[in-house]
Amino acid sequence: QSALTQPASVSGSPGQSITISCTGTNSDVGSYNLVSWYQQHPGKAPKLMIHEVNSRPSGVSNRFSGSKSGNTASLTISGLQAEDEADYYCCSYAGSSTYVFGTGTKVTVL
Amino acid sequence: QVQLQQWGAGLLKPSETLSLTCAVYGGSFSNYYWSWIRQSPGKGLEWIGEINHRGRSNYNPSLKSRVTISVDTSKNQFSLELSSVTAADTAVYYCARAPWSGSYYDSWGQGTLVTVSS
């Protein structure tokens, strides 16, 4: 059970859109529509941003959206804001009642 | 609004057993799965395992031989034990809630830093 692969860092200017990829295998991301995304600010617990590939919990800005194609899921942040600067992690169900997280991506707002 | 509050020993010696407890306030305990997740310093998140109110548990295969997750429904609490710890187990440990097994984590505890050092 290997960690899902994410880019170490992604950056963008305020107002721009950025996309974070999350690449797994056909045993996890590719087999289940159970990908979730979490935002984590320094010293804080992760916060759910997207669940089941593209569903947004109540209270999460509609600037955050998710998608999936094959073994790769993506999180897009549109209209980038300073408060979006954080670490982002994807997570997928991996079968046999197990989960696997991504390696994490640091988002920097320039 | 559910709240998860966790506690446990923060400093252990190698070979000791890590023990943490998470209490659930303000929400249903029986309709969810309850998990433990850890984050090594400067590293990513690692799923440890989960349990439901009936005591049905699932574990990360890489940790399964050392992990026990238990539940106390009378107190709306669940606990983590990790035996034979080493420095590699130094991490912030989080408890979290999932609507069903295999889904996602919609509520998290505040995290507990556990350091393993001789």
CB distance A83 to A29 below 8 Å: no
**Model pLDDT for residues A50-68, shown as the tens digit of each residue:** 999 999 999 999 999 999 9
Residue A71 has pLDDT above 80, yes or no: yes
Task: List strands edge to edge, sheet with A72-77.
Answer: A18-23, A72-77, A64-69
Mean pLDDT in residue range A80-105: 96
* Chain A 52-91, residues with CB within 8 Å of chain B CB atoms: 52, 57, 89, 91
Question: What is the pLDDT, as a whole number, of residue B65?
Answer: 97
CB distance B48 to B59 below 8 Å: yes
Contacts of A3 in chain B (CB under 8 A): 44
Question: What is the pLDDT, as a whole number, of residue A29?
Answer: 97
Contacts of B102 in chain A (CB under 8 A): 32, 34, 93, 97, 99
| A97 contacts B94? CB cut-off 8 A | no
Mean pLDDT in residue range B70-82: 97
Find the closest chain B residue to A34 by CA distance. Answer: B103
Question: What is the pLDDT, as a whole number, of residue A100?
Answer: 96
Contacts of B61 in chain A (CB under 8 A): 1, 98
The mean predicted confidence, pLDDT, of chain B is 96
Tell me what percent of the residues of chain B surpass a pLDDT of 70.
100
Residue B102 has pLDDT above 90, yes or no: no
Token duo for residue B32 = 């969810």
Residue A1 has pLDDT above 80, yes or no: no
**Model pLDDT for residues B45-55, shown as the tens digit of each residue:** 999 999 999 99
The mean predicted confidence, pLDDT, of chain A is 97
Nearest to A68 by CA among A93, A43, A45, A48: A93
b vs e for A38-68, b when ≥16 Cβ sit within 10 Å of the residue's Cβ?
A: bbbeeeebbbbbbbebbebeeebeeebbbeb
Residue B27 has pLDDT above 90, yes or no: no
| B62 contacts A1? CB cut-off 8 A | yes
SS3 B114: strand
Residue B114 has pLDDT above 80, yes or no: yes
**Model pLDDT for residues A17-41, shown as the tens digit of each residue:** 999 999 999 999 999 999 999 999 9
CB distance A37 to A89 below 8 Å: yes
